[in-house]
Amino acid sequence: MTDLLRVEGLSVEFPTARGVVRAVADLSFALGRGETVALVGESGSGKSTAALSLLRLVPPGTGRVSAGRVLLDGEDLLALPAAALRKVRGARVGMIFQDPMMALNPVFTIGAQIAETLRRHAGMTAAAAEARAIELLRRVQVPAPERRIRQYPHNLSGGMRQRVMIAIALACRPALLIADEPTTALDVTVQAQVLALVADLKAELGMAVLLITHDLGVVWETAQRVVVLYAGRKVEEGPVATVFARPGHPYTAGLLRAARWQEDGGRLAEIPGTVPSPLALPPGCAFAPRCPLAVARCREARPPSQALGRDQEAACWRAGEAPA
Amino acid sequence: MLARRRGPGVTPPPILEARDLVKRFPAGGGLGLGGRTVHALNGVSLAIAAGETLAVVGESGCGKTTLAHCLTGLTTPSAGRLLLDGEDAAAMLRREPMRFRRRVQIVFQDPYASLNPRRRVADTVGDALRIHRLCPRRARRDRVAALIAEVGLGEEHLDRFPHELSGGQRQRVAIARALAVEPAVVVCDEPVSALDVSIQAQVINLLRDLQARRSVGYLFISHNLALVRHIARRIAVMYLGEVVETGTTAELRRRLLHPYSQALFAAAPEIGRPPGTARPPLSGDVPSPIDMPRGCPFHTRCPHARARCAAEAPALRPVDGRMVRCHFAEELSA
């Protein structure tokens, strides 16, 4: 199977008054057709910056991609002229965000915003685009779509807005959907509805999904493979079932322990300390100051990614020794 | 959690008790002229005893935060009673608010919003001691240092401002401030949901240690169901301003009876759950608390709803070892 998306050595930098912050450092991963890959990490791990830079959506003037390639069907999106990139965004790659209120335009109707994508990319007439917008809203289970297309984002609930954003992202049947924390702002019952909808559409359209999330429960239930980020770097990658059963990196192991609340009311396994400041990363492994397995070597040299059996890798000098 | 060690069925006397709390807010007209009403709480009863944790779970708009505000005297209920140590809390809050606040404290979700950004840690925590006259000025800094140490921070944090602390450290300061007056009950309103996963466990362990040491009772409001099952001895599930099911964590873990509790717990993604075993999600959105559905508030989304559910509101009643608000709880449990 050839990869739909290959990210190679992606680095993103933000100049600040106190020095350059490398929000994403040397990130590589791949996504097959129809596959769901989860990009996981806590705040400041670089997961959202990575997702935005795939489509060159990091606002110019704040940060810049300093290295790397983003290959969609072999074509480097980072090297494309602006006009060609606009044809990719919204057509071959759709994107949905955590906060649909920020992503939707408050002064245009829902119908106009869905139709814009169809008219621009599919060259539809206004009438055809409206009919298709109604059909799309029905597909994402928005009730009374004929009425909804005349409404504005503020007339809708959070779950309904997220469905509208999905409808826009899917209007042109993209090969890839990038979903940046799509359910974090939603209640759990609405989250379940939205995740079920994405799963249905994925099966129907054969679409691949890059899911950015901090929620390991969501990863377990929706993704086939997982990429774990810490302080801007990939620390582990592998199939969800393998990584969750036998995490190779102590950070992954710690996250999994913290996310599996034991039901006996006993003491929870903590990860001590906090994420280091991106302006003062330790010289060796960024996780070493919090790591229960750290040895002298971890504080001196940054560990390279090493293979752990078939299809799993971890960037740790003691990879595979972490207790699950 | 301490209360776990007592025998089953032994109920310690409640410290804080709510009886049929109702809270309505005027909506629309700004001054209440619109004539519309938000029904935030529609008769909630619960009680918290020393050393135990009662968790309240529910989704946005279920009234859990309004409940927290009513229980801590931050908002006045429209009807119903609040009792502190068996005494009418409404009267106490009018005449001796300080006496109420020494017994009942609150920790909010966002410690950045709940700490004064212009006051240092030592001042924020010291204010509680000063206002309640709990310790002479000379001894205050030592007392604050001891409190700060108890929540896992050090002397070096005393003179810092909130922006110089991480999210987890800020929440520790908010906890120290709540504990400064040695309250009997602390209402924790989503205390870890703004924190990263790796930090959540630190704060939960801290709350647990403090409870073991001081025998404080927690009312723990959360939407994280796995966390609630971990931390609470009893759970109350809320929907549209009502408790729909409540019982011990052990009973509720064994089986949930109310269709909403079932849907809520099933909707939470769970690591290790075999793929394809999740129930189909609930359809639709939570109805507006302005236009409350007639009959059972859940009947508009309930997969088991029948004619009676749209006509008649069910009462909270005992079924199979817990309290549940559903006409057909026996049938659904069979």
Query: Tens digits of per-residue pLDDT, B86-114?
Result: 999 999 999 999 999 999 999 998 888 89
Write down the pLDDT at residue B269: 86
A178 CA to chain B: closest CA distance, Å? 20
Q: Is B9 exposed, middle or buried (0-12, 13-18, 19+ CB in 10 A)?
A: exposed
pLDDT digits (tens, 9 = 90+) for A284-314: 999 999 999 999 999 999 999 999 988 999 9
Task: Report residue B278's pLDDT band, with 50, 70 and 90 as the boundaries.
Answer: low
As a whole number of angstroms, the distance between CA A285 and CA A302 comes to 5
Q: Which of A225-239, B32-46, B268-282 has the lowest mean pLDDT?
A: B268-282
pLDDT digits (tens, 9 = 90+) for A120-179: 888 899 999 999 999 999 888 888 899 999 999 998 888 888 889 999 998 888 999 999
CB-closest option in B266, B271, B283 to A260: B271
Q: What is the number of other CB atoms lying within 10 angstroms of the CB of residue B280?
A: 11
B90 CA to chain A: closest CA distance, Å? 33
Sequence ranges of chain A with CATH classification 3.40.50.300: 3-223
* CB-based contacts of A273, cutoff 8 Å, min separation 6: A289, A290
The CATH number of whichever domain residue B223 belongs to comes to 3.40.50.300
Q: Residue B183 pLDDT more than 90?
A: yes
**Bigger pLDDT: B176 vs A260:** B176
CB-closest option in B4, B201, B266 to A270: B201
As a whole number of angstroms, the distance between CA B100 and CA B90 comes to 10
As a whole number of angstroms, the distance between CA A199 and CA A217 comes to 15
Write down the pLDDT at residue B26: 86
B6 CA to chain A: closest CA distance, Å? 15
Contact A212, A46 (CB under 8 A): no
Q: Residue B277 pLDDT more than 80?
A: no
Structural domain A3-223, CATH architecture = 3-Layer(aba) Sandwich (3.40)
Looking at residue B99, what DSSP letter applies?
H
Write down the pLDDT at residue A322: 58
Per-residue CA distances from B224 to A68, A118, B270 (Å): 38, 39, 11
**Bigger pLDDT: A40 vs A157:** A40
Q: How many CB pairs under 8 A join A and B?
A: 110
Q: Three-state SS for B187?
A: strand
Q: Which residues of B touch A217 (CB under 8 A)?
A: 226, 268-271
Task: Report residue A229's pLDDT band, with 50, 70 and 90 as the boundaries.
Answer: very high
Write down the pLDDT at residue B225: 87
Instruction: Give the torsion sign (CA, B214, B220, B224, B225).
Output: positive
**Mean pLDDT confidence for B131-158:** 93
**Mean pLDDT confidence for B157-162:** 95
**Mean pLDDT confidence for A175-187:** 88
pLDDT digits (tens, 9 = 90+) for B237-252: 999 999 999 999 999 9
DSSP conformation letters of A231-291: TTEEEEEEEHHHHHHS-SSHHHHHHHHHHS--TT--PPPP--S-PPPTTS--SS-TTGGG-
Task: Report residue B4's pLDDT band, with 50, 70 and 90 as the boundaries.
Answer: very low
Q: Residue A261 pLDDT more than 80?
A: no
Residues in chain B: 334
Q: Which residues of A touch B282 (CB under 8 A)?
A: 189, 192-193
Asked if the Cβ–Cβ distance from A259 to B199 is below 8 Å, we say no
Out of A187-191, B26-30, B287-291, B296-300, give the one with best mean pLDDT: B296-300
Q: Residue B10 pLDDT more than 80?
A: no
pLDDT digits (tens, 9 = 90+) for B206-225: 999 999 999 999 999 998 88
Estimate the crossing angle of helix B259-267 against helix A188-205, to 10 degrees. Answer: 60
Q: Residue B179 pLDDT more than 50?
A: yes
As a whole number of angstroms, the distance between CA B238 and CA B248 comes to 15
**Domain extent at residue B263:** 2-333
- How many domains does one find in chain B? 1
Query: Is B193's Cβ below 8 Å from some Cβ in A?
Result: no
Write down the pLDDT at residue B74: 95
Kindly state the percentage of chain B with pLDDT values over 90: 71
Q: Residue B120 pLDDT more than 90?
A: yes
Task: Report residue B289's pLDDT band, with 50, 70 and 90 as the boundaries.
Answer: confident
Write down the pLDDT at residue A304: 94
CB-closest option in A221, A255, A271 to B273: A221
Query: Is B149's Cβ below 8 Å from some Cβ in A?
Result: no
Query: Is B154's Cβ below 8 Å from some Cβ in A?
Result: no
Write down the pLDDT at residue B2: 43
**Mean pLDDT confidence for A105-124:** 91
Q: Which residues of A touch B266 (CB under 8 A)?
A: 192
